[in-house]
Structure 1
Amino acid sequence: LTWLMGVCKEDMVLVGQLLGEKTILNEFVAYVSLGELKNAGRFVEEKSIIMATYILCGFANVASIGIQIGGIGALAPNKKATLAKFGFQALIGGTLASLFTAVIVGMLI
């Protein structure tokens, strides 16, 4: 996926790891990892760091599905089943929005 986005081959695994951390854990954990990797000099290109920053923007992670169901479900209790049904699709949509933003930024820099 990171290859399709235009991340250099030396940084693909690192950016992919950050995307996985963001999706499974949350964006805050992934940003901490990004900072640690950057400070350790693990990235080859500055472009990869910038793109990773945009990839991590947003709340598309597994925990957000639960937050949506709990928060919006409290406002509309009869719609909890619908929220649960579309939760994973919202996760994919939010992730794609962040990825597309990173691709556009990558084309501009």
Structure 2
Amino acid sequence: IALIAALNGLLGWATALIGFEAVTIELILGYLFQPIAFLLGVPWSEANVAGGLIGQKLVLNEFVAYIAYLDIADTLSPISQAIVVFALCGFANFSSIAILLGGLGALAPTRRDDISRLGLRALLTATLANLMSAALAGFFLSFQ
């Protein structure tokens, strides 16, 4: 988390030097995950914000993303809020790969190579399961 804050400071400083608006990791993640948030059912006008939160959850962790969500929840529509809450609810992030390697690697030290090879696949699968739950929430709430 401190590394992301340092990168945000460095990016903000570098972009201010060349006369652009301050760029942050969250802003970049927002643009990267905007189409995914839109596919989940978030309106395009709110998809950048929702995508940034989903990206924060993946890169940092869900606790940081939920804290950021609390600051901007009022700017999202109720359906977008529900979709974002479901999308953030899970342990699919890069730090979970380290936890997986540490825990399972201690239980089965001879299989550590297999576990490390499957770490990114497990992250992708868990992320897709999370996003599928969010899409279903958006689908069912859209009928109200």
- Give the shorter-chain TM-score range: over 0.9
Cα shift at 1:42: 2.1
| Structure showing greater Rg | 2
Q: TM-score, normalised by structure 2?
A: 0.72
Higher relative CO (CA 8 A, sep ≥ 6), structure 1 or 2? 1
* Segment of structure 1 superposing worse, 3-12 or 21-30: 3-12
Question: Which of 3, 14, 19 in structure 1 is aligned with 2:49?
Answer: 14
Q: How does 1:47-62 map to 2 (within 5 A)?
A: 47-62=79-94
Q: How does 1:1-109 map to 2 (within 5 A)?
A: 1-38=36-73, 41-43=74-76, 45-109=77-141
**RMSD across aligned positions (CA):** 0.7
Cα shift at 1:4: 1.4
- Structure with greater proportional helix content: 2
For structure 1, which runs of at least 5 residues remain unmatched after alignment? none
For structure 2, which runs of at least 5 residues remain unmatched after alignment? 1-35
Q: TM-score, normalised by structure 1?
A: 0.94
The one-letter code of the counterpart of 1:60 is: A
Cα shift at 1:32: 0.4
Structure 1 runs (4+) deviating above 6 angstroms are none
Cα shift at 1:8: 0.7
Matches of 2:100 and 2:94 in 1, distance apart? Answer: 10
